[in-house]
Structure 1
Amino acid sequence: MIIALAHLGLPYDAEEDYQLLKEQDRQQIQKVSFLTSMELAHYLPGIDVLISGRLHSGYDHPWEDPLNHTLCFQNYARGSNLGAVVLHFDVKNKAIVKYDYLSEEGAMLLLSEDEFWPDQQMAAFIDSLQTAYHADPDSILGYTLTSLVRSSQGEAPFNNLMADAMLEASRADFAFNSYNSLRQNIPIGQITKMDILDALPFANQLVVVKVRGKMLKDLLERSVQGSFMGVAIAGGKVVYDPKRPNGQRITQFLIKDQPIDEQKMYRVATSSYLAEGNGGMIPLSFLPDDRFEWTSLTVRDAVINFIKKHSPLKISTDGRWVRK
């Protein structure tokens, strides 16, 4: 039996989206963006159960792909419920014969205090974390004269701010981070601590990695392969052409206004998440320990310090990341 865990997401309306999927097949439309869990279950036979996430839409009952008969389950978001299902498997015929729920309502258990009393020791521990996390949430860090808008498709003011903050805090030659690190825009006006906590919810550490120019270029090539659209950068300029083959898409790469030297060793700031090889940055996971400088700051700390130092902010795009 094959059970897949997918951070892809089932659609909000399964019937409507499945009709769109069939129409896509009929017209032989080749999708270039990421797949949904529905599309994965439809196009990849052999998965018995697919447990999905990412989109905040819960399914009381699984959606079953009519073609491959993959059972797809998905919960709502923010820990508000628990998915629970009992699968009955026929060992001889290697097939799921039925499934049962632990709840009368379906595959999701609502985690309300009316039904599930909190464990006192764990509740106290969580309260202590929340107190530290939300200390002085309304304290004003600074002001912005322009909207801090993020983007997952190229350069944007908030992307630039994050990367600039990482570069300044680390004093590195170059900095890059995933677009997905930013989860919320910040409008014109005051910037509170809570704004930054909401926009940068992950406590990823700021790390400096020593890499040669050849590897650095390869890492950024990985960020634009397929349908990917790159990373937030500071300290240089990247021009790429998505029509070129994978691995050959970057047509210009400058660091401090100079063409990247493939043999030179650069100090590059990034997040601990990427430094560990996640987000497609697999080559970083094979580097020896002495190539890494682990700072005492998180990426969020660097952004907070940058805002305090440079407020009022007037962040804009400047052509550091160009798609042809």
Structure 2
Amino acid sequence: MKTKIFFLCLIVLIFSSCKQDYSISKIEGKRLEINDSIKADNTVDAFIKPYRDKVNKDLDSTLAFAVDTYSKTDGELNTAIGNFMADALYEMTNPVFKSRTGKDIDLVLLNHGGIRSIISKGNITSRTAYEVMPFDNTVVVTTLKGEQIKELLTYLASRKRAHPIAGLQVILNADGSINRALIKGSEIDYNKTYYVATSDYLYNGGDRMSFLKSKDSLYDLDYKIRNLLIDYFKKIDTLRPTIDDRFIQLKDK
């Protein structure tokens, strides 16, 4: 028994003597800059080059021609580039939506801030679409009832910004109040449900468009806005959008 106790004490003593306390006393770091002074790895560059050349060729192939330069700052409440985007979205997605549901899209709503570049006069390429819409936003169709349509109109009237719209006409009085609003040329029936095409970003509350959140059905078309722009460019020969009367404000007499 005494022998066992002796060995136990000896083991405890050995482990106790081996135990040490460690603590961090100093941390040092060095900043490594990534700049032009770093030499390229020729082996890696040679490996990537064929893929890079193929991507650039695809991006820079001419799809259409723009007769002028278009910017989102060119108009007050609607712009040529914004009108083009909203109209293109309707034209390219309505057939998809109708084939799946038997219904037509009633109106399109995008956001002014989502237009990230101008379209320059001259050749239009896939790169143009990537510059205008660099995000992976997809098209969704939400169902809005009368109260939500009223919120949509109030939002447009209060913001007074050239958010791209199609299928909808909004006329403001000189004081900013709504004079008239039409959907597809007809007076709005606030007892009806309308199908509104927009982006998944806006549907989820982007740009404070919380009214787009559907209480009923939501249709995800799985179609990136950038891709539909490319498809639209391939479909047309010449791009010549205009500023029109889809969203205007009357002047004082």
TM-score, normalised via structure 1 length: 0.55
CA contact (8 A) 1:167 1:173 kept: no
Show the 5 A alignment for 1:94-133.
112=34
The residue number in structure 2 matching 1:63 is none
1:310, distance to aligned residue in structure 2 (A): 2.2
Seen in structure 2, the aligned counterparts of structure 1 residues 308 and 110 have a Cα distance that, compared at 3 Å, is farther
Show the 5 A alignment for 1:176-195.
176-195=109-128
The residue number in structure 2 matching 1:139 is 61
Deviations 1:62-91 (A, max 9, x none): xxxxxxxxxxxxxxxxxxxxxxxxxxxxxx
Seen in structure 2, the aligned counterparts of structure 1 residues 135 and 266 have a Cα distance that, compared at 3 Å, is farther
SS in 2 for 1:279: helix
CA contact (8 A) 1:224 1:230 kept: no
SS in 2 for 1:267: strand
Q: How far apart in 1 are the matches of 2:56 and 2:147?
A: 42
Q: Which of the residues 227, 230, 234 maps onto 1:308? A: 234
CA contact (8 A) 2:82 2:162 kept: no
SS in 2 for 1:317: coil
1:277 has 2:214 as partner: no
Q: Which of the residues 192, 195, 212 maps onto 1:267? A: 195
Q: CA RMSD in A?
A: 3.3
CA contact (8 A) 1:161 1:303 kept: no
1:240, distance to aligned residue in structure 2 (A): 2.2
The residue number in structure 2 matching 1:297 is 223
The residue number in structure 1 matching 2:165 is 233
Q: How far apart in 2 are the matches of 1:278 and 1:110?
A: 37
Runs of 4+, deviation exceeding 4 Å: 113-116, 130-135
Q: How far apart in 1 are the matches of 2:108 and 2:137?
A: 14
Which structure has greater helix proportion?
2
Seen in structure 2, the aligned counterparts of structure 1 residues 272 and 110 have a Cα distance that, compared at 3 Å, is farther
Q: Which runs of 5+ in 2 are unaligned?
A: 1-27, 39-51, 95-104
1:211, distance to aligned residue in structure 2 (A): 0.8
Q: How far apart in 1 are the matches of 2:55 and 2:207?
A: 26
CA contact (8 A) 1:137 1:194 kept: yes
Q: How far apart in 1 are the matches of 2:84 and 2:201?
A: 19
TM-score, normalised via structure 2 length: 0.69
Aligned pairs, number: 202
Q: How far apart in 2 are the matches of 1:250 and 1:133?
A: 48
Which structure has greater strand proportion?
1
The residue number in structure 1 matching 2:243 is 317
